Structure 1
Amino acid sequence: MPELLQLQQVSGGYHGRTVVHEVSLSIAEGEAVAAVGANGAGKTTLLRLIMGQLPLSGGQVFFAGRDLARLPPFERVRLGIGYVPEGRALFPEMTVEENLEIGAYRASRADLRQRLAYIYQIFPKLQRLRQTRCRLLSGGEQQMVTVGRALMTHPRLLILDEPSTGLAPRVVGELYQALRALHAGGLTVFVVEQNAYAALRFAQRGYVFEDGHITRVAPAAELLHDPRLVESYVGRASPMASS
């Protein structure tokens, strides 16, 4: 399969301090890939470098063969990268549907209706809540809106940053069921998680991220059975999170 996202020796960080060190990775069209690691390993920084929210201090990022170096974040979204940030970043006083519509602000009215219908098919609960202000939603419902907003851009690649943070195991299971359905429909997915068990149960291939470096890449099933990785990141998993 052709590579959709490719990072070559990517470095970067904040205020002159390098957090991500010469990271190279690739994601093929149609793959489901996870990057797992402890809190503070640099995973969120890596995604912000991919999305152009932080400048590269070294290396290159390619999407569908195109060098993204000079493109601002909104242009990367237009190219086909959907981004689900850590912390959700919703507009709390706006309704579910208004938050979703932000993801397709350039769409025609007819196209907007089609995209909303698609999101409500993936997350039926959101249709019932479409006129509810987001501040009144549970954490799981807010995460559905955040994923839905990214999907409203019709991405070729969906990137998710710590999507299970703060969610009950049952809700994590529901979220990953939706991601499996999206991947089965042809969407390429890259999920970055501290919850290694949930992410590696979902993914086909995994990267282990430690102190701003990739220390291992292997099939996800192989990583799930690595004793050192299990002890460090996986631990005891709830059965609900594996559904």
Structure 2
Amino acid sequence: MLQIDHVSTAIASVRVLRDVNLTVGTGQMVGLVGRNGAGKTSLMRTVMGHLPVTGGRITFEDIDLSTRPKHARAALGIGFMQEDRGLVPELTVEENILLPVWVSKSLKPKPRLDLVYGYMPELTEMRDRRALQLSGGQQKLVALARALAVGTKLLLLDEPFEGVAPALAQRLADVIGRLRAEKQSILISHSDMNHDKSLYDDVTVIERGANAAAGAAAH
């Protein structure tokens, strides 16, 4: 489904990714693991078109993503949960969830909201609240809901549990676990180097912007 082949990228002429390889198959949950600053967020942002591909290739269902504008990811069925949540503070919970749906020409708001609220019914109670009125953990739930609203084929979840209270972290884990059980394709990043590999179909470890083996060989 998602194929990352020898991908490199740079920020202000500084290389932040070097020949990274990663694959997410249909119905798989793949872990992207690395310490803070290892390049996890840069890789997800590159997939989403926020950073340019300076080498290698990213394909999604045989489509070269570098040929598509970044707003086209939603139309392709890719949902992105940013580490910093990326919500619009003045918009309501429901408006934030619907933002990427409005970009898509194929998705209808009501069915996508019904799906999201089915997974996270607690959001119906706060649907009319502005994002700035929510706690950090509640904002993470909304960010996951927004990704799910358009992620009909693939979800990219960047550090979903970072900075979240234990109760809300467990709630996020429950939702992600249900998605995995239903064979949703997911790429999920985290910085816990002592992760349980049994949670994933595959795990890619990244160090200094490269796959761990390549990084070890280069340093």
Confirm or deny a common fold (TM above 0.5).
Answer: yes
Cα 1:60–1:107 change in 2 (3 A) is closer
Q: Quick check: 2:159–2:191 contact (8 Å CA) kept in 1?
A: yes
Q: Quick check: 2:82–2:158 contact (8 Å CA) kept in 1?
A: yes
Deviates more, 1:195-204 or 1:57-66: 195-204
* Match in the other structure for 1:150: 147
Superposed CA deviations along residues 134-181 of structure 1, whole A, max 9, x for unmatched, are 111111111111111111114200001111111012221211110111
Write the distance in 1 (CA, Å) between the matches of 2:101 and 2:41: 24
- The answer to whether 1:165 aligns with 2:150 is no
Q: CA deviation at 1:26?
A: 0.9
Q: Quick check: 1:34–1:199 contact (8 Å CA) kept in 2?
A: no
Secondary structure of 1:195's match?
Answer: coil
Question: Structure 1 unaligned runs (5+)?
Answer: 217-243
Q: Quick check: 1:176–1:202 contact (8 Å CA) kept in 2?
A: no
Match of 1:194 among 191, 196, 199: 191
Write the distance in 2 (CA, Å) between the matches of 1:154 and 1:203: 19
Q: CA deviation at 1:203?
A: 2.0
Question: Structure 2 unaligned runs (5+)?
Answer: 214-219
Runs of 4+ in 1 over 6 A off after TM superposition: none
Q: What amino acid is the match of 2:8?
A: S
Q: Quick check: 1:103–1:151 contact (8 Å CA) kept in 2?
A: no
Secondary structure of 2:67's match?
Answer: coil
* Match in the other structure for 1:42: 39
Q: Quick check: 2:18–2:209 contact (8 Å CA) kept in 1?
A: yes
Q: Quick check: 2:31–2:203 contact (8 Å CA) kept in 1?
A: yes
Normalised to the residue count of structure 1, the TM-score between the two structures is 0.82
- The answer to whether 1:179 aligns with 2:176 is yes
Identity of aligned residues (%): 35
Write the distance in 1 (CA, Å) between the matches of 2:196 and 2:163: 15
What pairs with 1:1-243 in structure 2 (closer than 5 Å)?
Answer: 4-106=1-103, 111-196=108-193, 200=197, 202-215=199-212
Aligned length: 213
Q: CA deviation at 1:186?
A: 2.3
